[in-house]
A and B are shown apart, each in its own frame.
Chain A
Amino acid sequence: MFAADSHSLELCYNGLSLPFKMADIISTVEFNYSGELLATGDKGGRVVIFQREQESKNRLLSRGEYNVYSTFQSHEPEFDYLKSLEIEEKINKIRWLPQQNAAHFLLSANDKTIKLWKISERDKRAEGYNLKDEDGRLRDQFRITTLRVPVLMPMDLMVEASPRRIFANAHTYHINSISVNSDYETYLSADDLRINLWHLEITDRSFNIVDIKPANMEELTEVITAAECHPHQCNVFVYSSSKGTIRLCDMRAAALCDRHSKFFEEPEDPSSRSFFSEIISSISDVKFSHSGRYMMTRDYLSVKVWDLNMENRPVETYQVHEYLRSKLCSLYENDCIFDKFECCWNGSDSAIMTGSYNNFFRMFDRNTRRDITLEASRENSKPRAMLKPRKVCTGGKRKKDEISVDSLDFNKKILHTAWHPKENVIAVAATNNLYIFQDKIN
């Protein structure tokens, strides 16, 4: 993943002088399949897409910056009249579709509605119409003396985003995940209690494939927290729960996949049991590896890698911020314990990344077992300067450059990160700011 002979994981800025400051809190970040485009969704329902510049010979130290490519309003706030509640326009998830023609397609979802957007470029326009002049006004019929063929003239590049499908009214509860199937025809959407399967062409119908809503809502003790389709097997998907379990389902088995094919759960360590055990075991994100052999889950304090062939325990566990274990009561009080952190794989599945507090994010190299903590902040980041590894002091004497647990800013949380599918370029969302880093170029 990183330079093989380096003793420490290193990253340096990619040449963008400053991180992008967005108008609103970023709520999702996602690279497309080629990594050329990076989409972000925010709390205000906007989607901003960045495009990578072509590599230029002038910039030796940079492999190509990301610049704003398109901005559009995906979702608007809605009002549910029956409940007298507002439906937030915040974008919960964006997922790209694989590119099949010149246009790009992505799915964006808020709490209730999923939209398919087409992003296309227009760099030519037709000139020389017969019936209307350049302004668009109808030409005087007497003036038309000859017949001409309009010609396509180049124009300034215009990027248009248009909603092609709107998938609505299928979710009673808040949508937490969407995932495109490997057949590129269907996708699933999951809310707290149900998972639906959609066809990309059909908006007025969806199949309910998982329903964990109890007959009596007072018996509700578990909700769905995330769901994802298998990257290669279009009949397989997983969903995680608030009790720290993951269920793998096979859509060939039955129309309603309430009975799982595999059930992943790590037995609880009785010595560390507390009243918060269940809350911190709640899984906030689940991601398949690119290979499809493993999956990764993020709970409050750790990231776990599971082998799909072994259900009784994960094969790897990485502690993200174990120093918070003694602070769980305060974190429960200020609600931070309910923060939903995401996690992601790198393109080769050799490393994983996830966020933490104080604008820290963590990367773990699965092969060397090395890990690093980095900070996404304007003060500490200069263009083309290496990011300094950070360390949290857990007790005793605090060394220079270390930060103590009590000084951590719990309002600065990195919940969303994304890794380029092929290169060591990462996108980190810190509240309103989007940071894009790349690893050091030899």
Chain B
Amino acid sequence: MFSKGTKRKFSDGDEEISAESLVGARVASSYSLQRQSLLDMSLIKLQLCHMLVEPNLCRSVLIANTVRQIQEEMTHDGSWHMVTEAFCNPGQSPSERLVATEVLCRSREQDAEPKLFSVISYEGCREEEVVADETLCSVSVSDTVSDVCLAGRMGQCWEKSELSGVERDEEALEDSSLGSGEDEEIDTEDEASTKSPKTTGQVFGTFEIKNGSPGPDSALEELFSDVDTSYYDLDTMLTGMQSAPKMGPYDLLDSLAPSHSSPTIVSTPKCRSDLNELDHIMEIIVGS
């Protein structure tokens, strides 16, 4: 890095240019930090709106559009490219990143649900342990997680209202309770996430539904329903941890986001083991 006192061999003009580019780099990184923080904030808002009793559809749509916008810009920037290259299935072209959300989530189908428990339990890990190398670990993982979670989360937000659409339609009133499996999943799962601990039967009832074969579009919802069902792990319920702050992919994101972490440089070996654990998370999410 340049410091004021450093004398260089070349002319002053060169130093000025360097200073300018330094300022430019600072501005650029400040912008990308701001953008990242905006992305994080938006994802948290989307998560919260998912937790609210009745999400305001207009607000959710506007926030989701903002997130999309940031994603698109990051894709064009190339910062998205680096992210997905590191952790996603090789062979996917960078231009398909946004569309890749669905693919990523779909590929989860083969994976068994309980694996995601480890993702949640990973949350307990402090960010300093996980985020070692800012440029690679934290930024990439958080972005990928957000990438993965985004479409599904939005789908979830809309699905809530969507479900009521099924109910409200008088003709379909008889069918609404049967509905499609995915709707029912969301319903019970949302219900559970907003209410006090359910009975054991209901908890396991939820699990049963999860094991059903999902339709092509249900993978997104399934991703989240799986994440949420971890709350209803019998232990969690019995120990009253239900009252703990609701966890979701965005909490994981939170703990990993660079804006939240202090830039501590950790020794390489630790970084490597953390990278392995991140790999593990990504495997689960990506389902490779």
Contacts and interface: CB of A to CB of B under 8 A. Distances in A.
Interface in A81-96: 82-86, 88
Contact of A84 (B58, B65, B168, B195): B195
Given A82-B167, A83-B163, A333-B41, A279 B66 contact: yes
A171 B54 CA distance: 14
Interface in B170-187: 170, 176-177, 187
A217 B162 contact: yes
B69 A223 contact: no
Interface of A: 80, 82-86, 88, 111, 169, 171-174, 192-193, 213, 216-218, 220-223, 225, 242, 275-276, 278-279, 282, 329, 332-333, 335, 338
Interface residues of B, number: 42
Nearest to A225: B58
25 contacts: A82-B163, A82-B176, A83-B160, A83-B167, A84-B194, A85-B164, A172-B161, A172-B165, A172-B168, A174-B54, A192-B58, A216-B217, A217-B155, A218-B217, A220-B154, A220-B158, A221-B68, A222-B61, A242-B58, A276-B66, A278-B62, A278-B65, A329-B38, A332-B38, A338-B62
A172 B195 contact: no
Contact of A218 (B34, B69, B161, B220): B220
A372 B62 CA distance: 31
Chain A binding surface, main DSSP class: loop
Interface of B: 34-35, 38, 41, 45, 53-54, 56-59, 61-62, 64-66, 68-70, 151, 154-155, 158-165, 167-170, 176-177, 187, 191, 194-195, 217, 220
Contacts of B165: 172-173, 213
A169 to B, nearest CB: 6
A172 B169 CA distance: 8
A275 B62 contact: no
B260 to A, nearest CB: 15
A435 B194 CA distance: 39
Contacts of A83: 160, 163-164, 167, 187
A217 B162 CA distance: 8
A193 B162 CA distance: 11
Given A84-B191, A84-B195, A172-B161, A275 B38 contact: yes
Contact of B57 (A82, A223, A275): A223
Given A84-B191, A169-B168, A242 B161 contact: no
B38 A173 contact: no
Nearest to A276: B66
Nearest to A338: B59
B164 A275 contact: no
Nearest to B195: A84
Nearest to A337: B62
Given A83-B160, A172-B161, A217-B162, 10 more contacts: A82-B163, A82-B176, A82-B187, A83-B167, A88-B54, A220-B154, A278-B69, A329-B38, A335-B45, A338-B62
A242 B61 contact: yes
B68 to A, nearest CB: 8
Nearest to A111: B54
A251 B203 CA distance: 50
B58 A282 contact: yes
Q: Which of B35, B62, B161, B164 has the most CB of A within 10 A?
A: B62
Nearest to B102: A218
Contacts of B64: 221
